[in-house]
Amino acid sequence: MALLKTVDLCRDFGSIKAVHDVSIEIEEGKVFSIIGPNGAGKTTLFNLISGHLEPSSGKVVFRSRTIQGLKPFQTSHLGIARSFQLNNLFPALGVTENVRLAVQSRYPVRYNLISHCKKYSKIYEKAEAIVSQIGLAEFSETPAKALSHGDKRLLEIGIALATDPVLLLLDEPTSGMAPEETARMIDFIQKLKGQLTVVVIEHKMTVVMSVSDQLIVMHQGEVIANGKPLEVRENPEVKRAYLGEELQ
């Protein structure tokens, strides 16, 4: 059974069909990549899944529960985490503090304003473990604003992981990265395989072909191909719509 599926999902903006009759199934424990030209509807699809937009019609089903129309905080508590194209961090706070705040959101404890935060050791232990997992332990106390672009992207993913997701949505995680930073991100996503289910919106084919178990191609709001990366790579419609010589 699919962890997540959409059924005839649509979102219109006036006369523009940003997402049109999209039906996909995301299997648990795998990495799916969604590709397509700008304006294909990829980020709108993420917004519909995560609750940032309501669909015009159709359904989103997560763990056999219909969730379209829920708010982002509600889908988050169900186990869906999301990163964005633009970093969404607390720039003046350290790396661990950024993660700690996300961990804290999952602990039903009362806080005493005159107590030191480190009193709550389980929360800090989990935050520190996630900081180590994303490879930023040496920057634990560094303000987020002082990190490199690549490290900021990793920190944002760490914040998402701190909410205990079973489904992680990554919107262009390597955007603006140098080649060495992109390689680090590829390695990190590969290590997530089997730990949780990941769906990636991505433009870099080196990333897509390296991490994906399944590839979904969107064009003008519709899914035009869905299959194994090497199969999709040879799809004539995909080549015409988007990839062209890039896959040769």
For residue 88, the model assigns a pLDDT of 77
pLDDT per position as a tens digit, 7-52:
999 999 999 999 999 999 999 999 999 999 888 999 999 999 999 9
* Residue 12 three-state SS: strand
CATH number of the domain within which 61 lies: 3.40.50.300
- Residue 114, domain extent: 90-163
Among candidate residues 122, 141, 163, the one where a domain is terminated:
163
The answer on pLDDT for 112 being more than 90 is: no
- 171 and 242 fall within a common domain: yes
Structure tokens at 70: 């829920």
Least Cα distance to 201 among 29, 12, 69, 39 occurs for 39
Structure tokens at 179: 């080649």
- 140 and 21 fall within a common domain: no
- 74 and 10 fall within a common domain: yes
How many domains does the structure of the chain reveal? 2
- 157 and 173 fall within a common domain: no
The answer on pLDDT for 111 being more than 60 is: no
- 128 and 225 fall within a common domain: no
d(CA 69, CA 242): 31
pTM here?
0.90
- Alpha helices (H) in the chain, listed in sequence order: 42-50, 72-78, 95-104, 121-133, 149-161, 179-192, 205-211, 229-233, 236-238
- 75 and 139 fall within a common domain: no
Q: How many CB atoms lie within 10 A of CB 167?
A: 22
d(CA 53, CA 48): 5
- 71 and 121 fall within a common domain: no
pLDDT per position as a tens digit, 123-182:
999 999 999 999 999 999 999 999 999 999 999 999 999 999 999 999 999 999 999 999
- 21 and 124 fall within a common domain: no
- 75 and 185 fall within a common domain: yes
- 196 and 214 fall within a common domain: yes
> Is residue 85 situated within a structural domain?
no
